Structure 1
Amino acid sequence: MTSILWLRRDLRRRDHPALLAARDAAGDGDLVVAFVVDPELWSGGGAARRAWLAANLRALDESLDGTLTLLHGDPRRVVPALAQRVGASSVHVTRETTPAGRRRDEVVAKRLGESDIDWVETGTPYAVGPGLVVNGSGDPYKVFTPFSKAWRAHGWPDPAPTPRSLPIRNARNDAEATAALDAALSAPDLPELPPAGEEAALRRWRAWRERALENYADDRNRPDLDGTSRLSPYLKLGVVHPRTLLADLHDERGEGAHTYETELAWREFYADVLHHQPRTAWEDLRPEMSRMRYSEPEDAVEAWRTGQTGYPVVDAGMRQLLAEGWMHNRVRMITASFLTKDLHVWWPLGARHFLEHLVDGDIASNNHGWQWVAGTGTDASPYFRVFNPVTQGLRFDPEGDYVRRWVPELAHLPGKAAHEPWEHADGYAHGYPERIVDHAVERDEALARLEATKR
């Protein structure tokens, strides 16, 4: 008997319930572990995202002794064709929870069923699958804090065991798929990416946990420090499962461990919101905010994208994004607020830019995080809360180290002076641009537009 494990957001061996289910279904037969390079999704992301995915697929293939089957094309056609070709009796997956993924899987499952091939979903990319945490009335939570309490009370299973051996056979790689990976990894001007693969993820986790977990509650908001785990790129592709991390924190009782659990809960909350409200992938969760008047200032948006707004911490964040395919979470909030509240641009434009470049770009966390800042989503930071990019920089990058790292035009300004070049005679001596807007004026404009929605 032959079974197929079709990988999507689960590129690992450890703590992988769908892998175990596929192995058990194969019995004494063959197990085919496959990944499909979908041209539609492949072309939808930037070079860094493609390279990060390619690097982790290569690392997984190595951990599977070169047996990973790489295919190319529309999965709705490719997966049923593979099942027919290898004589599979079942196709196993980790359950998809995004709207597009669920629509795709419905088609694949239907086509497999027409050939009497079983479609088996086991587990999700989350510690608690979206839809499982509900209130006393059986309804989903709309606010994070009660969700997080119920999420902790619900609990999650222990990590799945790691199989010692797997009866995997390669079912013939598609030349287009291997060529796509080769091209992604050799693309010009790629940012410096983290080490790929499950072992690298776990090494990063262990080293960071020992060094920085204790101070995480305070240091996580400091972009000038290496205070965050930076595991989000691995979580995005399922190179490590959140359940694995939570199990490792089980005996930790400090504030840092509790705060880290809470950050994982935010990720699961946003996935739950998207599960129940799939329209919110690209629409405001709060429909009353649809009356907001937005602007489309092309030159200012381009300045934002390229880190040329004249606000140092904003520009540092946008340049880090382009250079690393990653941005510190506090700075994500600052840059998002600047686009939505200072430039008055509707959040999906910024969300798309982030998803193009972020190697950890996840539609649920990214897009609902943008709505939180924009004041149109869950528990929203109210629309009238407008991040001041100067005070945010002074508070969370107090010595200006983060700014100087990414904005070399300000490297000559010592300490906190890097946040306010306009206050110093030589602030613009090295070509840093002047501010494209006056924050105080634009804050008043943002509040005026909010009041207009209430009329």
Structure 2
Amino acid sequence: MLPKRRSCGEGGRRGDPVISCDVTTPAILWFRRDLRLYDHAALLAAARRSESVLAVFVLDDNLLRPAGASRRDFLYGCLRELDERLGHRLLLRHGDPAEVLPELAERVGAGSVHVSADTNPYGSRRDERVRDALRERGVDWEVTGSPYAVTPGRITKADGNPYKVFTPFRRAWSEHGWPPPAETGVDTVDWMSPEGLDGVPVPDGEQAAAPDLPPPGETNALRRWDGFVESGLPEYDQQRDRPDIAGTSRMSAYLHLGCVHPRTMLRDLSQLDHHGAGSYRNELAFREFYADVLWNWPDSARYNFDTRFDRMPLDTGSEANTLFDIWCAGRTGFPIVDAGMRQLLQEGWMHNRVRMIVASFLVKDLHLPWWWGARHFMLHLVDGDLASNQHGWQWAAGSGTDAAPYFRIFNPTTQGERFDPSGEYVRRYVSELRDVGGKRVHQPWKFDGAQAPDYPAPVVDHSHERQEALARYGRIKNS
């Protein structure tokens, strides 16, 4: 439903921008990590500002280059779906947003550019440049909402400092609350035609044999979410750690690109009263916590949050590089680790429990830098989110907020036996072990090598490397 128009100079609800121009002046809605039409606060703000809106997405090489083929292909699919829903009125441009947006605003006579906040380090710097370039041309820059229920930076302790520990953050986050979903859709505004504005087509997929990416776009995101709420959520708290079964929602890629807003999901969760809903809400809170940490400490994307870990002895050199390549390829000789790394390469995704297992193996069995693994994940993950990825890796390394205790070192064999008890997950991704039945698959070194002649022997002795990791952590834990 089209929202009520407001006259210039008129305010709306508390926090709404004050309108300062004629509603007949066009506006631009710059889509970023908000590739949807429902529950879109910036779209609602644009509708209050103007009767005609130009939908724009800028293909920015600074974001595309490090994304990896899986994430780029999923992005392109989401853009196609959004363009179709807009009646092919989504304008794509390729270039520097600080040059593209001001030029477009001048060509269409736009009085304002509307966005959802981007709180990542690069996005914040880029948006400052775009805002300044627009203001030089007399074009307003309006930020409304973000990819989070509570925009990073808004929740602080009583003394005004940000939270470093998840549990009190989650409590404050819940108490802070969030508005209901914005009632927006394709009919909220009159979308301008991009004809004659030098748009480019959505790029084709880059991978000849594309991985099993989730079906892209808002429609598929909402369909998947509705199906999960009905059939998967009640058992989520019991099944989410099992990679051998479909116990998770697989919503992470949709959340990353904003095909669905967490506010929509939280509304649905609030109407349910079972452990699965509470557990899922907790995971959404973790996503918001890590985004808040990145906003307050942007260097935590690259450096140890706990600076004591700057003194942690790490392996480097040719042997370390070789072990890293073996880990990346899924050839470590530890089945659950190899299954996870091969799933990542094949599907652009990895089960969250397995992400923790392979991360622990890299930093505590191979003694390699966490940022090597984080960079590899960001290259291949379709849901690669800077805040969640980097801080998840720091959790595994012990150097982050709420980090795993230094003495918590996952045993990859017992982790596999516990969370993949039948061995189904390993057999699915490690072809050399597909003929090995039951949980025996987690200890292939115990049976005749003839059953799996092509599967490698373990690259390290876990018991020995565990003691080595404890010794290294012991050198810094009291420093």
CA distance in 2, matches of 1:173, 1:214: 51
CA distance in 1, matches of 2:198, 2:432: 46
* Match of residue 31 from structure 2: 7
The answer to whether the aligner puts 1:201 opposite 2:221 as a matched pair is yes
* Match of residue 191 from structure 2: 168
Maintained 8 Å contact 1:410/1:430: no
* Match of residue 402 from structure 2: 379
The answer to whether the aligner puts 1:280 opposite 2:304 as a matched pair is no
The answer to whether the aligner puts 1:114 opposite 2:114 as a matched pair is no
Q: Per-residue CA shift, 1:368-411, capped at 9, x if unaligned? A: 00000100000110222111100111110011000000001111
Q: Per-residue CA shift, 1:40-94, capped at 9, x if unaligned? A: 2212221111100000000110111110000000112111111111111000000
Q: Per-residue CA shift, 1:169-215, capped at 9, x if unaligned? A: 2334877842xx333x1532221211111110111111111111111
* Match of residue 97 from structure 1: 119
Unaligned runs of 5+ in 2: 1-24
The answer to whether the aligner puts 1:158 opposite 2:175 as a matched pair is no
| Aligned residue runs from structure 1 range 326-345, under 5 A | 326-345=349-368
> Which amino acid in 1 is paired with 2:411?
N
The structure 2 residue matched to 1:182, chosen from 184, 203, 210, is 203
The structure 1 residue matched to 2:251, chosen from 231, 248, 257, is 231
CA distance in 2, matches of 1:38, 1:173: 21
> Which amino acid in 2 is paired with 1:447?
L
Maintained 8 Å contact 1:71/1:174: no
* Match of residue 16 from structure 2: none
CA distance in 1, matches of 2:331, 2:209: 20
Q: Judging changes above 3 Å, is the alpha-carbon distance between structure 1 residues 175 and 401 closer, same or farther for their aligned structure 2 residues?
A: farther
Q: Judging changes above 3 Å, is the alpha-carbon distance between structure 1 residues 355 and 186 closer, same or farther for their aligned structure 2 residues?
A: closer
Maintained 8 Å contact 1:71/1:173: no
> Which amino acid in 1 is paired with 2:440?
A
CA distance in 2, matches of 1:85, 1:381: 53
CA distance in 1, matches of 2:418, 2:193: 54
The structure 2 residue matched to 1:396, chosen from 419, 424, 435, is 419
Q: Judging changes above 3 Å, is the alpha-carbon distance between structure 1 residues 252 and 427 closer, same or farther for their aligned structure 2 residues?
A: farther
> Which amino acid in 2 is paired with 1:323?
Q
TM-score, normalised with respect to structure 2: 0.92
Deviation at 1:428, TM superposition (A): 5.1
SS where residue 47 of structure 2 aligns?
helix
* Match of residue 17 from structure 1: 41
CA distance in 1, matches of 2:155, 2:254: 24
The structure 1 residue matched to 2:472, chosen from 438, 446, 449, is 449
RMSD of the TM alignment (CA)? 1.4
Q: Judging changes above 3 Å, is the alpha-carbon distance between structure 1 residues 331 and 173 closer, same or farther for their aligned structure 2 residues?
A: farther
* Match of residue 142 from structure 1: 164
| Aligned residue runs from structure 1 range 253-402, under 5 A | 253-296=273-316, 297-402=320-425
Q: Per-residue CA shift, 1:339-365, capped at 9, x if unaligned? A: 111111111111111001101000000
Maintained 8 Å contact 2:433/2:455: yes
Percent identical across equivalent pairs? Answer: 53
Maintained 8 Å contact 1:37/1:177: no
CA distance in 2, matches of 1:23, 1:187: 38
Q: Judging changes above 3 Å, is the alpha-carbon distance between structure 1 residues 327 and 174 closer, same or farther for their aligned structure 2 residues?
A: farther
> Which amino acid in 2 is paired with 1:362?
D
CA distance in 2, matches of 1:77, 1:83: 10
CA distance in 1, matches of 2:70, 2:224: 20
Deviation at 1:451, TM superposition (A): 2.2
SS where residue 69 of structure 1 aligns?
strand
CA distance in 2, matches of 1:176, 1:411: 49
Q: Judging changes above 3 Å, is the alpha-carbon distance between structure 1 residues 319 and 176 closer, same or farther for their aligned structure 2 residues?
A: farther
Maintained 8 Å contact 1:410/1:427: no
SS where residue 275 of structure 1 aligns?
helix
> Which amino acid in 1 is paired with 2:354?
V
Q: Which runs of structure 1 show a deviation greater than 6 angstroms over 4 or more consecutive aligned residues?
A: 173-176
> Which amino acid in 2 is paired with 1:390?
T
Q: Per-residue CA shift, 1:283-322, capped at 9, x if unaligned? A: 1110111101111311110111011010000000000001
Maintained 8 Å contact 2:91/2:199: no
SS where residue 92 of structure 2 aligns?
strand
Q: Judging changes above 3 Å, is the alpha-carbon distance between structure 1 residues 173 and 352 closer, same or farther for their aligned structure 2 residues?
A: farther
CA distance in 1, matches of 2:414, 2:334: 11
Q: Per-residue CA shift, 1:13-60, capped at 9, x if unaligned? A: 000010111122113xx2101000012221222111110000000011
The structure 1 residue matched to 2:434, chosen from 387, 399, 411, is 411
Maintained 8 Å contact 2:345/2:380: yes
The answer to whether the aligner puts 1:79 opposite 2:121 as a matched pair is no
SS where residue 375 of structure 2 aligns?
helix
SS where residue 182 of structure 1 aligns?
coil
SS where residue 88 of structure 1 aligns?
coil
> Which amino acid in 2 is paired with 1:36?
V
Q: Judging changes above 3 Å, is the alpha-carbon distance between structure 1 residues 174 and 407 closer, same or farther for their aligned structure 2 residues?
A: farther
SS where residue 106 of structure 2 aligns?
helix
* Match of residue 13 from structure 2: none
CA distance in 2, matches of 1:442, 1:79: 53
Maintained 8 Å contact 2:256/2:385: yes
Maintained 8 Å contact 2:366/2:465: yes
CA distance in 2, matches of 1:143, 1:173: 51
TM-score, normalised with respect to structure 1: 0.96
SS where residue 93 of structure 2 aligns?
strand
> Which amino acid in 1 is paired with 2:39?
D
SS where residue 299 of structure 2 aligns?
helix
SS where residue 70 of structure 1 aligns?
strand
Maintained 8 Å contact 1:76/1:104: yes
